Structure 1
Amino acid sequence: MSPDDERSTLAIGVDIGGTFTDFVVYDHRSVKTFKVLSTPGDPAQAVLDGVRKLSPAPGYRVVHGSTVATNALLERKGARAAFVTTQGFRDTLQIGRQTRRNLYNWFSGGVPALVPQARCLEVPERVDHRGHVLRPLAKRSLTSLIKTLRTQQVEAVALSLLFSFVNPEHERHIAQRLRDAGFFVSASHELVPAFREFERASTTVVNAYVSPGLNRYLETLEESLPGGSFHVMQSNGGRIRAAQVRQEGVRSILSGPAGGVIGAEYLARLAGFSQLITFDMGGTSTDVSVVNGVIHTTSEAEVAGLPIRVPVLDIHTVGAGGGSLARVDAGGALRVGPESAGADPGPACYGRGGQVATVTDANAFLGRLPATGLLGGALPLDRAATREALAALSREFAAHAAGTHVDLAEVALGILQVVNAEMERAIRVISIERGHDPRDYVLLSFGGAGGMHVCELARSLNVGRVLIPLAASTLSALGMLTANVFLDYVRTVMCPGETSFEELERRFVPMVEQAQEDLATQQVPVPARHVHCELDLRYQGQSFELTVPFSPVFRAAFHEQHVRCYGHKDETAGLEIVNLRVRAIGDVSPPRIEAQDPGPVDSSGAVCHERRLVFSSGPRSVPFYDRSLLRPGHHVSGPAVIFQDDTTILLPERDHAQVDTWQNVLVTIGDARAESR
């Protein structure tokens, strides 16, 4: 079944978070959402529970954002891997780039390699930078290599030979021998045939480390859920069939955050916005990104301190979420995160054994969450446990402040101020520090915890408008259903800038043919296929490149982009064409969301009750609006709380909200109106 051949099938988007696993279900008439608690010990269990709850008919589709590869890397619980390279280069992973993360810290250590030096092995061979064989592969040595790998009980092998991206024959032969011997093999010429030895080796090793576990996970899902087809979200914002991800697990390491950005851009476009800052606050972390009419990717990502050279969406992540733990450090200062309560035990207010105060506990204590609890009352709040967790934190403060008592409300407000500062700093990194003025953007909030914090963040950044979709807490899962098929290819060529357009076209031909062949394997219909070509260029003598579309005016495009990025250009300097890039796209029809005609402004009928909330200015009685009763055209003035089953929005004083025709809540930040442009 093609990705778009889905008119009579059920489409299910699944995003596994640290606390909840989100489901978005589209039956080609309407979109429905729900959540189940994540099962960190066995992530597949939450997915199976959710899909079985639907009892789908055969032929259903699942598009899945998996955290299996991510967790394996972050927790260092991947496959037992070995690294095989050219003789004389076994120390590549340990040497890295010889840079210190903290320049002035004499004791700053590097990130430990995924493969210990004892399992870094060599083979006698050598190819030069032009692909000429300087030393033929000693094929007899492969027998002893295989024996060593078996003795070391290796499960997966990362194979990265010197200059194999120019001439892969030696690497291809070794990979086949190792696969015939039963090993999982991650070969650099197949995964990332590009220069920069350490980064290529690192990416290949990460792939070998995470792919076997992801393979087993996907097998479990497919065997337990017969009758469905599985696609996996990639870090580049596209989906691919599960079979390919099994061999290239590194491509799905940031799949959840990528789904959120894709979904945010889709809903913002429907609402008429093209300039947005995405703000995804979940239970464990917060992900932010900038969209300037297009979604930006990068090939210079780093995860868990390890460089990864496959295309990923340009997303910045910080360890601040609803489940982030609060503590008092050795100097008596309040710290929040990056440690998280996760799904088990979760925040203290969940009543599942959590004893340490979290951001969610602070919001609960201040009265900002629905009295009936979360998930429409399915998860009641344990207020006694919340109070005790905050009291314990207050006692920690007292121990550092000569017995001074700190009021519990002050503790809770302090937690929110600290976590907001951390998230504001993250937004500044991807906006102001890169030359983007936040006042030119809409701040689009999603994730289960985002609505509680986004208006205050917008005020701090002087952003004038905030957009909160109806499916805010499950937007990543929705984004996975809207994502197209994306396949990325790269090849290092190192050509002079004077190389003719026709010669470059000729060099692109085999890459484009491979892309078309792979789109057919993904069952993308011919009319839905598109292929885009790009070039990585730099001035001669530079160390890094800029990517521009491949066209007859690619040189002028490079100079213009150099000005945008660095403020200057030199049209007299020589250029160097470093890499050819190809992106193959298979269009997919996203879920249809119908606009509704606006109605009256008066929203008083959606008020369920009033409750006392605590703000930094003091307590105040605030109306609670049931979002399911709000209709397009309704207006709500702050202070107010707008709640729904899976998320809550805090509307501070002076802010004003209205429901648009797409059922988004569009907030105008009162203090920022004069500055917003």
Structure 2
Amino acid sequence: MAVVGVDTGGTFTDLICYTEAGATVVKLPSTPDNPARAVLEGLARLGLGPRKVLHGSTVATNALLEGKGAVTAYVANAGFEDVIAIGRQNRPEIYDLTSRKEACLVPEALRFGVPGRVSAEGKVIEDLSPEQAWQLAQAVAESGATSAAVCLLFSFLKPEHEKLLGQALAEAGIAVSLSSEILAEFREYERAATTVANAYVAPVMDAYLGELEAGLSEGAPLFVMQSSGGLVTAPVARREAVRTILSGPAGGVVAALAVGKAAGFDRLVTFDMGGTSTDVSLLDGMLSMAMEKHIAGLTVKTPMLDIHTVGAGGGSLAALDAGGALLVGPRSAGADPGPACYGKAEGLTVTDANLFLGRLCPDHFLGGAMRLFADRLPPLFETLGREAGLSAVEAAEGIVAVAEAAMERAIRVISVERGHDPAEFALLSYGGAGGLHAVSLARLLGMGTVVVPRHPGLFSALGMLCADVVKDFSETVMLGSDKVDIFELAGLFGSLEEKAREGMAEEGVPAAKVVLERQLDMRYRGQSHELPIRLVADPFTAFHTRHEAVFGFKNPRAVIEVVTLRIRARGVTEKPVFEQSEHRVAAVAEAAKIGEKPLVWKTREIAAMWYDREKLVPGNRLFGPALVAEASATTFVPPKAEALVDGFGNLVIDTRVG
């Protein structure tokens, strides 16, 4: 019996199982029509009955992005039905006269107002009767909606009206999401948008996880990765599916922190290039968190890892725009039909370009388990080149260059634009396609070190095994530093701590394994957004210091508002142990050399040695140009770069040799 980590992506589904005998891995094409099928098939291939399954899923993400969620109604106070459509009235493209706002997830016909009102102090101004709640439920049921988001003014202070509506809607057969349960905080629009997103994706997630649980070994519990980098049980993920929007990418970042720290790299930029997209994050000794993200026209506010995503992956399709310029992504070939070299489609992708340039080996893709049709590519690249006024080779290298430019911009967003110099960080590369572009990308950013961990194509699945069980709790308090002292602040966490301990008990975590992390959202009075500050001995001084670091100034004489109290409850889990080998061998064994083959580098054909990563040992040094093949990925060490296999089996590449 073993614990299995599972990551479902747009192109591949990855499984990894760590036992005393080592790691067992499975990588197989995803099944977009029913993602559970690939997961269950992968578990069957492992040939064992798992004691526990830890799962990162894109089901909630795809339901939002593809508009395939439940038909959702929005219930608000009478007169506030259109808050979800009005939003913040922000214009992200302020100078674009043709810019149009994304369509609201809830059309006007499915927005409902109800009587009843709670004041900003949490007092009932106007009551809501059971009869009025029942009438509303009937109207929602007759509208054709199958799910409802209920968001009433100041319900985070007094949720009784929401609970009454929730009961009536549930009795009418409607799936219900209450804002007082999903996000018990102030800011009406963000609370409404997050609750709507949950109502939209929860029925889809519920059906998916139900089917997956039914196919698991009897008694094997299913845990799901949240966007925050922590696990929750499947029942919680079913109810609060909005917390899993970044489920899959979060796993890779969690694994990167664990592997990076073990190998001595505390400052990392993570680079996860999969089949459909690329996800990047910056880790300065710890996980980087964000509190909200704009997805499908909604501002989703839940704790999540600070991950930036671009539509550039191995399966990203190349095309020419109206002016004849080469574009790559965001459209993807997906798992089916996939890149042209998979044998079904005609559209060219980044994977096709790498194969055409000699940077992939048809005989070693997925460890030889999947055939690539390299002979289909020359005429397709010749056609694309002719249309673009390029040779076939120039067209292929152009696809790679355009994709790398998009990924470079993504890393600059999370580093340079936030005051960090990428040269001070190592680039930790994973994902099935990451190793093919990591060194070139690092050179564009002035980064001297690239780390490619073992099993990079299954790295996000490893992250599931490195994660703790996590639940987040919050409460809006709105207290000024002129009216509350530090001791009173600490005492206010009492009720939240009780909720946190009860929540972890529901997750089956023993009290001795629970760690509570306390945080305050603070701002100067008059500001509209907060900074998160850990509850330390003097949080007010800590806020002044943090404010100066972020914004360049502080105002010690100003009143500080404590807006929201937060507790993150972590249930510490058993994790894989990364053991370092003390034995080093510099020379690469002949058995690890697959052979020398040609590849294209800057339009010239050069010879490169291919290596079998499974046969490399700590201390081995590889000099570019070289390619390292393994079951889940291929790593390209270009000319004037040198790779060292460290004691943990990571490939540590020096990008600046020569």
Q: TM-score range by the shorter chain?
A: over 0.9
- What is the deviation of 1:617? 5.3
2:456 matches 1:472? yes
Q: Which moved more, 1:95-104 or 1:384-393?
A: 384-393
**Residue in structure 2 matched with residue 618 of structure 1 by the alignment:** 604
1:237 matches 2:229: yes
1:650 aligns to what?
Answer: 636
What SS is found at the alignment partner of 2:584? coil
Deviation at 1:350, TM superposition (A): 1.2
The DSSP-based 3-state class of the residue aligned with 2:639 is coil
Task: Indicate the residue corresponding to 1:337 in structure 2.
Answer: 329
Match of 1:288 in 2: 280
Q: Which residue of the partner structure matches residue 160 of structure 1?
A: 151
Residue 82 (structure 1) shift:
0.5
Residue identity opposite 2:248 in structure 1: G
What residue is the counterpart of 1:75 in the other structure? 66
User: Is the contact made by 1:100 and 1:109 (CA closer than 8 Å) also made in structure 2?
Assistant: no
- Which residue of 508, 516, 529 maps to 2:493? 508
1:25 paired residue number: 17
Alignment of 1:115-194 (within 5 A): 115-194=106-185
Answer yes or no: is the 8 Å Cα contact 2:76–2:151 preserved in 1: yes
How many percent of aligned residue pairs carry the same amino acid?
45
- Show the counterpart of 1:380: 371
Partner residue of 2:619? 633
Aligned residue in 2 for 1:524: 509
Distance 1:96 1:565 in 2: 27
CA contact (8 A) 1:157 1:208 kept: yes
Letter in 1 for 2:325: A
Q: Secondary structure at the match of 1:336?
A: strand
What are the equivalent positions in structure 2 for 1:81-100 lying under 5 Å apart?
A: 81-100=72-91
What's the CA shift for 1:591?
1.3
Secondary structure at 2:520's aligned position in 1?
A: strand
Aligned equivalent of 1:5: none
**Normalising by structure 2, what TM-score?**
0.98
Aligned AA for 1:313?
L
Equivalent runs, 1:108-119 vs 2, <5 Å:
108-119=99-110
Match of 2:293 in 1: 301
Counterpart of 2:560 (choices 575, 600, 604) is 575
SS at match of 1:670: coil
* Whole-Å separation in 1 of the counterparts to 2:309 and 2:17: 27
Gaps of at least 5 residues in structure 1 are 1-8, 399-405
Structure 1 distance, partners of 2:376, 2:560, is 64
Aligned position for 1:443: 427
Moved more, 228-237 or 27-36: 27-36
CA distance in 1 between partners of 2:585 and 2:64 (Å): 52
Hey, what's the Cα distance between the residues in 1 that align with 2:25 and 2:164? 49
Task: Give 2:442's aligned residue.
Answer: 458
Which residue of the partner structure matches residue 397 of structure 1? 388
For 2:362 and 2:138, the matched residues in 1 are separated by: 64
Aligned AA for 1:666? V
> What is residue 4 of structure 1 aligned with on the other side?
none
Q: What per-residue deviation string (whole Å, max 9, x for no partner) do you get for residues 215-265 of structure 1?
A: 011111111224121000000000011011110000011000000000111
User: Cα–Cα, structure 1 residues 441 and 282, in superposed 2: closer, same or farther, change >3 Å?
Assistant: same
SS of the residue 1:177 aligns to: helix
- Check conservation: 1:31, 1:591, Cα contact below 8 A: no
Q: Tell me the CA shift for residue 335 of structure 1.
A: 0.4
Secondary structure at 2:652 match in 1: strand
Alignment partner, residue 407 of structure 1: 391
Question: Paired residue for 1:603, among 585, 588, 608?
Answer: 588
Question: Is residue 558 of structure 1 aligned with residue 549 of structure 2?
Answer: no
Deviations 1:389-431 (A, max 9, x none): 3233123224xxxxxxx21111101111110100001000000
1:481 is matched with: 465
State the Cα RMSD in Å.
1.3
Q: Measure how far apart 1:94 and its partner are.
A: 1.2
Query: How much has 1:573 moved relative to structure 2?
Result: 1.1
Aligned mates of 1:396, 1:491 — CA distance in 2: 59
In 2, distance between residues paired with 1:226 and 1:655? 47
Q: Provide closer, same or farther for how the CA distance between residues 55 and 612 of structure 1 changes in structure 2, counting only shifts above 3 A.
A: closer
SS at match of 1:232: strand
Whether contact under 8 Å (2:521, 2:531) holds in the other structure is yes
Give the partner amino acid of 1:610: E
1:304 and 1:229 map into 2 onto residues whose CA distance is 32
Structure 1 equivalent of residue 252 of structure 2: 260
Tell me which residue corresponds to 1:224.
215
TM-score (norm 1): 0.95
Measure, in 1, the Cα distance between the counterparts of 2:605 and 2:25.
34
Asked whether the 8 Å contact 1:13–1:62 carries over to 2, the reply is yes
Q: Is the 8 A contact 1:193 1:490 kept in 2?
A: yes
Q: Which amino acid aligns with 2:606?
A: R
Determine helix, strand or coil for the equivalent of 1:624: strand
Q: Map Cα deviations across residues 650-672 of structure 1 (whole Å, 9 max, x no partner).
A: 1111111100000000001126x
Which shows bigger deviation, 104-113 or 250-259? 104-113
The CA distance in 2 between the partners of 1:55 and 1:222, in whole Å, is 18
Contact 2:589 2:616 in 1 (8 A): no
Residue 535 of structure 1 aligns to which amino acid in structure 2?
Answer: L
Contact 1:28 1:592 survives alignment (8 Å): no
1:349-404 deviation per Cα after TM superposition (whole angstroms, max 9, x unaligned): 111x1101100000000111124141111112211222233233123224xxxxxx
Shift of 1:501: 2.2
What CA distance in whole angstroms lies between the structure 1 residues aligned with 2:121 and 2:162?
16
* CA drift at 1:99: 1.5
Give 1:45's match in structure 2, choosing from 24, 31, 37.
37
| Cα-to-partner distance string for 1:50-98 (whole Å, 9 max, x where unaligned) | 11222323x6211011111111100001011100011110010111111
In structure 1, what is the Cα distance between the partners aligned to 2:11 and 2:372?
15
Of 201-210 and 544-553, more deviation after overlay is shown by: 544-553
Deviation, 1:512, is: 0.5
Q: Which runs of 5+ in 2 are unaligned?
A: none
Is the Cα–Cα contact under 8 Å of residues 373 and 381 in structure 1 kept in the other structure? no
Kept in 2: contact 1:111–1:306 (CA 8 A):
no
Where 1:25 maps in the other structure, the secondary structure is strand
Partner SS, residue 623 of structure 1: strand
Is 1:364 aligned to residue 355 of structure 2? yes
Separation in 2, partners of 1:635, 1:53: 34
